[in-house]
Chains A and B, each alone.
Chain A
Amino acid sequence: MTTRMLGAPVLRTEDPRLLRGEGRYLDDLGQGAYEVAIVRSPHAHARVLDIDVTGALDVDGVVAVYTYEDLPPRLRERLPVLIPHPALTAARTQHVLAAGEVNHVGEAVAMVVARDRYLAEDAANRIHVAYEPLPAVVGHERAASGQLLVHDDIPGNLAATLTQEIGDAPGRIAAAPNRLTFRLDIDRSASTPMETRGVHARWDADDQRLRVHSSTQTPTSVRAVVASYLELPLAQVECVAPDIGGGFGVKIVHPWPEELLVPWAARLLGHEVKFTEDRREHFISANHERGQVQFIDVGFDDDGRILGLDVRLLHDHGAYIPYGLIVPIITSTQLLGPYRITDYRVRFDSLYTNTVPVSPYRGAGRPQGCFAMERTMDRIARHLGLDRTLVRERNLIRPDEMPYDFGLTFQDGRPYAYDSGDFPASLAKLRELADWDGFPARRAAAEAAGRLLGIGMAAYVEGTGVGPYEGGHVQVETTGKVKVATGLSTQGQGHRTAFAQVVADALGVPFEDVEVVTGDTRRFAYAVGTFASRAAVMSGNAIHLAALKVREKALRIASEALEVDVEDLELVDGHVRVVGSPATSIPLGVLATMSNPLRYAFDASARIATQFASPGTTDRPPVAAGESPGLEGTDFYSPLRSTFANGMHAVEVEVDPETSDVRILRYSVVHDCGTLINPMIVEGQIMGGVAQGVGGALYEEMAYDEHGQLLNASFMDFLMPYASEVPAVAVDHLETPSPLNPLGIKGAGEAGVIPGSAALASAIEDAVGVGIDAMPLSPSRLHALRVAADHR
């Protein structure tokens, strides 16, 4: 009997290759390729007066140097606005190479192609660019004041203002017995995958085809944009995402300038060309996220129930806005979390600054929203002298209120409606897992020893599995092996394993016989991409549906061959067999052969499908109308709307009374992402997310000075957590399957990171008794807050 794979903690099939050092990441490809170095702006805001490349041309091994002037007309156009929105009235994107102006440190100005990267960098250093520096706009306040402009023709530095409203928040707040208003600040951070960006291209002059490899979360869309900007028919362009060393959102953005320049140069030069970004470049030319200023106005009753909530957000999206308004829209909606809030108004201003552009980083606006909501809950609790979990409990949406439609519009343009979840049950689990009720005793014991302890929590709801669609192709080969393809790419989520589990169950084949390919447009050309915790939901279900088609076809062919009703057949261990008489069976591989009527017996097994060996009936064509040869199926999954995962974190911290250093003593996670395909992988996603949450709360920030220089653009100064900073995590799952998709899955990719800052702020505030309104919180910042509080 084939054992059920869905829900089993199967070891990953991708691991042995990667562990032996046989992975193929972007920079492992194209060993003979020319390499690219980019000349980047050292100024945050400047006019480019002149570019003198003559010095570069003298370097031995330089092949070509390009500036804006050298580009063909189509490549001189600005990059696309990837996600247009009616409110995005002043969208501005960059050029692939600066056209007379630069708007952030790191913006691409010129490109050198050389025999290797060392020589390309030598040459890049010899290019002289004359700049006329302009004043830089840095920070929310300066951007919002509009006194200095990033783009001369965009007044107020304002790309968009968007208000969403349900009920009458101002009215309810004014009439509420209690009211609080306050400001919160969140600093920037960034995805910071261990592998930087990279792209490699090869023009095959014989086939007249362009093959692009990119370290991207969306190879299908990279293919389309390369074809568009290089003015090639789509059929002549293919894009493959090789092994990818992490993405976390930043690699969903496309096209990066290099993603167009490298293929263009490869075709022009008739030689492979490759760009591998270095770490400093990644800090100053790959997108950031998180930075927001939030103004909260909340009215609530004496039990802590929120009556009205009015929120204003200043969102700093950097120098350009290629990814539209996705991040602030997500903050605006997901801020509501698991709480029943009927009177809500949220308005955001999306502002230009002379800094690296902003686009989603794991969590994508949700950590900020969660911070706003959960800080609000804590303030209400403190104001009323109530337990923090009690205030939350009183505001939770109940399971019998599901589906719960807020009346807002989500990031996919569809209703913001929760499909499932049991929030009170999650809270009860969390209190138990974290031993919330035992904390006062722990604190008292610690206090007696002169130690400062605090506990905090935060809850979130995460819209996952956004559309529009994904697809899957499942094919049984005549060997009986099953080949599966889906278009989106993989950055470490173990899709090959998880999707093979889905197919093994649907087809009743051994897991080992299923091989999955992701992110290769040659194998599957229709896809959207890997973001928004959507891959398992979207491709998982699409592959499941495709496998069901194959199953149906296998049963049909077997039913004809065995002259047995389909209802009396089952798929077990790679065979279709008769229920109750397992000896009567046909291997799937044989059914695959039979499904493809042949003229030529190219091998022994093919004989059975040839015209004289298997004449069949002569009163219908060998491939009947509506049929197609081959035991394969393609299907797509396109949901009506997003599904919503949820969870809650609690964290217990110790603050050093002398140094204000924060140590995490205990971290508890309760998590509901519906049906688990592979609990080991899901847990890994949560652990990784928690580590990023801790980093964002305590360590990571983008230290821009007032001139727009990023002062910490290296791993020496941008502090990502090592093992020494990440706590052990206790996890408990709640599985309320989503009613929206056949497998009942909700996404899990981003969850772990969302409540990190909120929970840690809550715990630290509890430990030191000083209000925490800004993140991240380094020991020196915390110390300054404590000293200031002492002096009040």
Chain B
Amino acid sequence: MDRTTPAPEALHDVELTVNGQVRRARVPARRLLSDLLRHDLELTGTHVGCEHGVCGACTVLLDGMPVRSCLTLAVSVSGRAVTTVEGLAAEDGTLHPVQRAFQEHHGLQCGFCTPGFIMTACAFLAEEPAPDAATIRDAMSGNLCRCTGYAGILAAVAGAAEELAGTGVDPRERHRPEGAA
């Protein structure tokens, strides 16, 4: 046990781009990116299921690559670009093709793991636009879901791949519905 009076924590300025917008915060060095997003920036779509890097619920894209925001320190992402689940649907709320596929294939029940799966799927489909079923299962096997038994999730990713195929759309970008500028 520590009996000395603890020193107040030093704070650090963080400036990053989140879903295309520059955001700033002053945080202690130990603050997790998941907490920065959820509690400093109030983007609560990113969820925390374990805080030890196993469940994948907290997955966000860091410069386009999937990372576990619960294993990332907020101060380490200064100057970088983060995409969260809030950054996918069109400005008018129209669902992104990956999101829509999750609805159509019943890829979510409680929805708690869902943002992590969606971000993982977006990064995966950017890299592997025409995956087969085994590759999809493999790519989605780093995230835990306690509700669905995964069947709907795997079907959704396959459906989204089909939908995106040949469109030239980067699945990590915010959705632009046809007709919108």
> What is the number of residues of chain B that contact chain A, defined by CB distance less than 8 Å?
65
Query: Quick one: which of B8, B39, B142, B151 contacts A722, CB cutoff 8 A?
Result: B142
| Most chain B CB atoms below 10 A, which of A25, A128, A245 | A245
Chain B residue nearest in CB terms to A55: B3
Tell whether A118 pairs with B30 under 8 Å between CB atoms, given A723-B137, A726-B149.
yes
Asked whether A779 is an interface residue with its Cβ less than 8 Å from the other chain, the reply is no
A284 to chain B, nearest CB (A): 14
The minimal Cβ–Cβ distance linking B119 to chain A, given in whole angstroms, is: 10
- Are A279 and B51 interface neighbours, CB within 8 A? yes
Within 8 Å CB of A193, what residues of B?
Answer: 110, 112, 146
A687 to chain B: closest residue by CB: B149
Cβ-defined partner of A12 (8 Å) among B42, B88, B106, B137: B106
Contact of A192 among B9, B142, B146 (CB under 8 A): B146
Stretch at the interface among A13-21, A76-84, A351-359, A781-789: A13-21
Report chain A residues within 8 Å CB of B146: 192-194, 246, 248, 688, 692, 720
Contacts of B28 in A (CB 8 A): 118
- Which B residues are in CB contact (< 8 Å) with A246? 109-110, 112, 146-147
Q: Write the chain A residue with the least CB distance to B84.
A: A21
| Residues of A contacting B50 in the complex (Cβ-Cβ under 8 angstroms) | 279, 714-715
- Known pairs A19-B102, A248-B146; A723 contacts B30 (CB<8 A): no
CB atoms of A195 and B110 under 8 A apart = yes
| Any A CB within 8 A of the CB of B69 | no
**Does the CB pair B144–A31 fall under 8 Å?**
no
A729 interfacial contact with B, CB 8 Å: yes
Query: Across the interface, do B148 and A687 meet the contact criterion of CB distance under 8 Å?
Result: yes
Contact (Cβ within 8 A) A492 B110: yes
Chain B residue nearest to A685 (CB atoms) is B109
- When chains A and B are docked, how far (Å) is the Cα of A245 from the Cα of B48? 11
Contact A126–B1 (Cβ < 8 Å) = yes
State in angstroms the CA–CA spacing of A729 and B149 once bound together.
10
Instruction: Tell me, rounded to whole Å, the shortest Cβ–Cβ distance linking B128 to chain A.
Output: 16
With A31-B39, A122-B6 given, is the CB distance from A245 to B102 under 8 Å? no
Q: Is the CB of B48 within 8 A of A680?
A: no
Q: Are A492 and B111 within 8 A (Cβ)?
A: yes
| B:29-48 near A, CB below 8 Å | 30-31, 38-39, 42-48
Do A726 and B55 touch across chains, with their CB atoms under 8 A apart? Answer: no
Majority secondary structure of chain A interface residues (helix, strand, loop or mixed): loop
Contacts of B1 in A (CB 8 A): 55, 125-126, 128
Contact with B along A36-71 (1 / 0, CB 8 A): 000000000000000000010011100000000000
In-complex Cβ contact of A492 among B6, B47, B147, B149 (8 A): B147
Of chain B, the residue at the smallest CB distance from A61 is: B8
B167 at the interface (CB under 8 A from A): no
Selected contact of A59 from candidates B6, B112, B150, CB within 8 Å:
B6
Contact indicator per residue, chain B 105-116, by CB within 8 Å of chain A (1) or not (0): 010111111110
* Distance A366 CA – B143 CA, assembled complex (angstroms): 28
A28 contacts B by Cβ under 8 Å: yes
Given A126, A248, A687, which contacts B2 in the complex, CB threshold below 8 Å? A126
Contact status of A681 and B106, CB under 8 A, knowing A16-B95, A23-B45, A492-B111: yes
Q: Are A21 and B149 in contact (CB under 8 A)?
A: no
- CB within 8 Å of A: which B111-129 residues: 111-115, 118
**B interface residues (Cβ-Cβ under 8 A, vs A):** 1-3, 5-6, 8-9, 28, 30-31, 38-39, 42-52, 54-55, 57, 84-86, 88-89, 93, 95, 99-100, 102-104, 106, 108-115, 118, 137-138, 140-154
Pairs A–B under 8 Å by Cβ, sample size 20: A19-B103, A20-B95, A21-B43, A31-B39, A31-B42, A60-B8, A122-B6, A126-B2, A195-B110, A245-B113, A248-B146, A492-B111, A681-B106, A684-B149, A687-B152, A691-B149, A715-B49, A722-B150, A723-B143, A726-B150
